Structure 1
């Protein structure tokens, strides 16, 4: 099996903070939990250290998913809004019970051809930019733009050394300077829910 990460997944590193470097930060996202008999995500930084994890994701409960740091602390929690005809999610920051609602996300629906997949905007009285997700999540080719059409994060296919493709379960997350890497991974979780790639496995 092609090696996904260079370091041991059990060596814990500090939680990833907001990206402040002048260069984009690169993460490897593996659509698999490291816990036995549990679905989820495992995310490694550019050095191969564990950065984020999602271990409480299950097929039977798609209404709430928690993104955790390496120590198991909640970074963001996404909850599906009830009684809606379209995919509409709320994004909370912090630990239960003191969760703070920060953003809401809605799947983009249109009868016309469009590259737009979803929109993420501040919740309630929160101020901040509205983000637009464009591209194809099933092909692992997405870009998220702010209101000034500046890219803040990208999702790309990942290839191993020698050009061997990992497929859709392993891909790259590129976080541009100034964007919260935790929020970036939360958007990945939302896209997974909205576009059901688990129900239709990616080939090649």
Structure 2
């Protein structure tokens, strides 16, 4: 069986914090390459399990399929809430809000699904808007079904990329395991929040739903 990750030891993040995210002060000292597994490690849960380049567990999403939750919590390896994703109530368009930790009042990022009346005329998938007003926003482009997506800032600088995971020993992983490459300047937790929302917007037929519609 092809291994998704090289290590099985669960390690805590080394004091990384995303405080200041509501001011859009995203931080990353170097390029991070994460392996995203579209599966919860808990029984009877839907979610994601994310490993760093050394095989250490860094992020978790565990949502019980039987619950009626309208939110998803991104946690670190120890189960500490980092970001909460909620679908916006009474929204005409597909729009989600991202909050720090388990915050329930002021959101720090909104993500809207791109409405393209010409359907397949371009590759824009979603638009991201920080609430601080310090940036004009970001765009997500590409194809989530093919696990080939790019996140750009307003200057068209690449911030993050979703790629298919390379096969190991000639055995491919399919769409349930893929790479998330995060550039300096964007926090990897924010990049994972984008992945969660792309799954909600563009997950294949029969895929799990983390947030009830």
Q: Do they superpose with TM above 0.5?
A: yes
Gaps of 5+ in 2: 18-26, 209-213
Q: Counterpart of 2:36?
A: 29
- What does 1:109-148 align with in structure 2 at a 5 Å threshold? 109-112=115-118, 113-123=121-131, 125-148=132-155
Alignment deviations for residues 125-167 of structure 1 (CA, whole Å, 9 cap, x no partner) = 4433411000000000000000000000000000232232100
1:168 lines up with 2:167 in the alignment:
no
Moved more, 50-59 or 66-75: 50-59
1:20 to 10, 29, 41: 29
Could you list the runs of 4 or more consecutive aligned residues of structure 1 that deviate by over 6 angstroms after TM superposition?
Answer: none
Pair 69,162 (structure 1): closer, same or farther in 2 beyond 3 Å: same
Alignment deviations for residues 61-100 of structure 1 (CA, whole Å, 9 cap, x no partner) = 4621110011111111110011223210001012356x64
Pair 185,59 (structure 1): closer, same or farther in 2 beyond 3 Å: farther
Q: CA deviation at 1:116?
A: 0.2
Q: Secondary structure at the match of 2:107?
A: strand
Distance, in Å, in 1 between the alignment partners of 2:65 and 2:153 is: 31
Distance, in Å, in 1 between the alignment partners of 2:108 and 2:174 is: 33
> What TM-score, normalized by structure 2, do the two folds share?
0.85
Q: Secondary structure at the match of 1:134?
A: strand
Q: Counterpart of 1:108?
A: 114
